């Protein structure tokens, strides 16, 4: 074991992962596609811990809550098992945006943990292996291993060995702007894990979600390759609204939106009517992510920040994949 540090960005899914075919291994029913978001990062630092067999996990300066801490330690156990390594770690995890509120902090967290913990355990993994590993922590983390525009291939193998992400285009492929509207920075009530399980089991619309998802994914992938914002944006909005409709129709119904979430959706559509090409998407929380041409990001951000109920906006763009830092 040695000291190591890694950093990873969050990501925003344009074609969503929403439904697991295997809950233990985080294997999805569907492929998904995202943009890795520059500047919205999690840093994870590791140091060997002597004189004890248990890890210590500190998140944003405070001892991790038992449930969160266990999730991290379970993940470290996977890494140790992979390398046949024993030894406890001190782990410090710092995220620079609201955590567990639907901005995919689990994506940046587990991508940073995968890269950092394997280095701390002196394991050498390929990016694909890192993506498989990160997926075990949180599905969407499989995508944050890579930068730019990233597709997570659903795969079909029972052991999950073919369920990993690949980069379909690097960050510089397309100058897109991303504006995140924070409408409620508090913790979400139903996490994505429980939310998707509920949608799979309890929503009468789940089969149609699945059936129609692949066409959205193809349109979004093609649109990204052709830098066609209209095609990507329309398909991403459609995919997002379907994911939420499926969840609302579960029993009990899931409602991730706050009043200001809806207000932002209307504002985005009004912007389009005035010629500003902007499109929304929402993950398992009340925040809205808006994509637009980079040249219009400031205009979009100003318009969104002025919507009543929006607490603040975060600015992003396609960013880099997870990487090691000089160990502190």
Taking the C-alpha atoms of residue 46 and residue 49, their distance in angstroms, rounded to an integer, is 9
Please say which residue, 150 or 310, places its beta carbon nearer to ligand PMV. 150
From 123-131, 135-143, 181-189, 202-210, give the range in contact with ligand PMV by CB under 6 A. 135-143
Is 71 a binding residue for ligand PMV by CB under 6 A? The answer is no
Q: Which residues contact 207 (CB under 8 A, 6 or more apart)?
A: none
Please say which residue, 134 or 303, places its beta carbon nearer to ligand PMV. 134
Number of H helices, E strands in the chain: 9, 14
Closest CA to 60 of 100, 95, 106: 95
Q: Binder to ligand PMV among 139, 147, 286, 319 (CB under 6 A)?
A: 139
Is 192 a binding residue for ligand PMV by CB under 6 A? The answer is yes
Eight-state DSSP code of residue 145: T
Binding residues among 151-190 for ligand PMV as defined by CB under 6 A: none
From 11-19, 39-47, 175-183, 210-218, give the range in contact with ligand PMV by CB under 6 A. 11-19
Taking the C-alpha atoms of residue 144 and residue 238, their distance in angstroms, rounded to an integer, is 23
In which residue are the tokens 């943009």 written?
A: 35
Binding residues among 27-66 for ligand PMV as defined by CB under 6 A: 32
Q: How far is the CB of 11 from ligand PMV (least distance, A)?
A: 7
From 10-18, 71-79, 197-205, 299-307, give the range in contact with ligand PMV by CB under 6 A. 10-18
Taking the C-alpha atoms of residue 22 and residue 27, their distance in angstroms, rounded to an integer, is 5
Q: Is 234 helix (H, G, I), strand (E, B) or coil?
A: helix
Is 106 a binding residue for ligand PMV by CB under 6 A? The answer is yes
Taking the C-alpha atoms of residue 127 and residue 124, their distance in angstroms, rounded to an integer, is 10
List the beta bridge partners of residue 32.
152
Is 131 a binding residue for ligand PMV by CB under 6 A? The answer is no
Please say which residue, 113 or 121, places its beta carbon nearer to ligand PMV. 113
Please say which residue, 140 or 296, places its beta carbon nearer to ligand PMV. 140
Alpha helices (H) in 90-205, listed in sequence order: 105-120, 127-137, 141-144, 192-202
Q: How far is the CB of 107 from ligand PMV (least distance, A)?
A: 6
Ramachandran class of 205: left when φ > 0, alpha when ψ lies in -120 to 50, beta otherwise:
alpha
β-pairing verdict for 176-182 and 62-63: unpaired
- # binding residues, ligand PMV (CB under 6 A): 15
Q: Which residues contact 43 (CB under 8 A, 6 or more apart)?
A: 5, 6, 7, 93, 94, 95, 112, 325
Please say which residue, 287 or 296, places its beta carbon nearer to ligand PMV. 287
Q: Pattern of binders to ligand PMV over 276-315, x per CB under 6 A? A: -------xx-------------------------------
Is 17 a binding residue for ligand PMV by CB under 6 A? The answer is yes
Q: Binder to ligand PMV among 9, 104, 112, 240 (CB under 6 A)?
A: 104
Taking the C-alpha atoms of residue 41 and residue 7, their distance in angstroms, rounded to an integer, is 7
Is 261 a binding residue for ligand PMV by CB under 6 A? The answer is no
Residues lying near ligand PMV in the complex (CB under 6 A) are found at 13, 16-18, 32, 104, 106-107, 138-140, 192-193, 283-284
């Amino acid at each position: 074991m040695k000291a190591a540090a890694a950093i990873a960005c969050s990501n925003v899914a344009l074609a969503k992962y929403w439904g697991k075919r295997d809950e233990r291994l985080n294997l999805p029913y569907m492929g998904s596609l995202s943009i890795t978001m520059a500047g919205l990062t999690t840093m994870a630092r590791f140091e060997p811990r002597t004189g004890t067999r248990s890890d210590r996990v500190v998140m944003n300066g405070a001892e991790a809550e038992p449930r969160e801490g266990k999730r991290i330690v379970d993940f470290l156990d996977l890494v140790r098992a992979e390398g046949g390594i024993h030894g406890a770690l001190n782990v410090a995890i710092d995220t620079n945006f609201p955590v567990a509120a639907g901005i995919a902090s689990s994506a940046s967290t587990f991508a940073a943990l995968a890269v950092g913990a394997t280095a701390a355990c002196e394991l050498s993994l390929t990016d694909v292996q890192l993506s498989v590993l990160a997926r075990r922590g949180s599905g969407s983390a499989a995508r944050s291993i890579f930068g730019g525009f990233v597709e997570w291939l659903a795969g079909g193998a029972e052991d999950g060995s073919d369920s990993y992400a690949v980069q379909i285009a690097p960050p510089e492929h397309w100058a897109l702007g991303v504006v995140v509207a924070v409408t409620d920075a508090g913790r979400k009530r139903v996490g994505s894990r429980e939310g998707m399980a509920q949608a799979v089991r309890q929503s009468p619309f789940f089969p149609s979600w699945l059936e129609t998802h692949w066409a959205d994914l193809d349109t979004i992938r093609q649109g990204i390759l052709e830098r066609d914002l209209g095609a990507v944006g329309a398909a991403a909005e459609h995919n997002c609204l379907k994911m939420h409709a499926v969840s609302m129709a579960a029993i009990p119904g899931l409602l991730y939106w706050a009043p200001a979430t809806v207000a932002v959706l209307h504002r985005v559509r009004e912007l389009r009517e005035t010629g500003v090409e902007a499109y929304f998407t929402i993950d398992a929380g009340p925040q809205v992510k808006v994509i637009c041409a980079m040249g219009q990001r400031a205009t979009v951000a100003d318009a969104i920040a002025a919507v009543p109920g929006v607490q603040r906006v975060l600015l992003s763009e396609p960013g880099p994949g997870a990487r090691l830092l000089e160990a502190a």
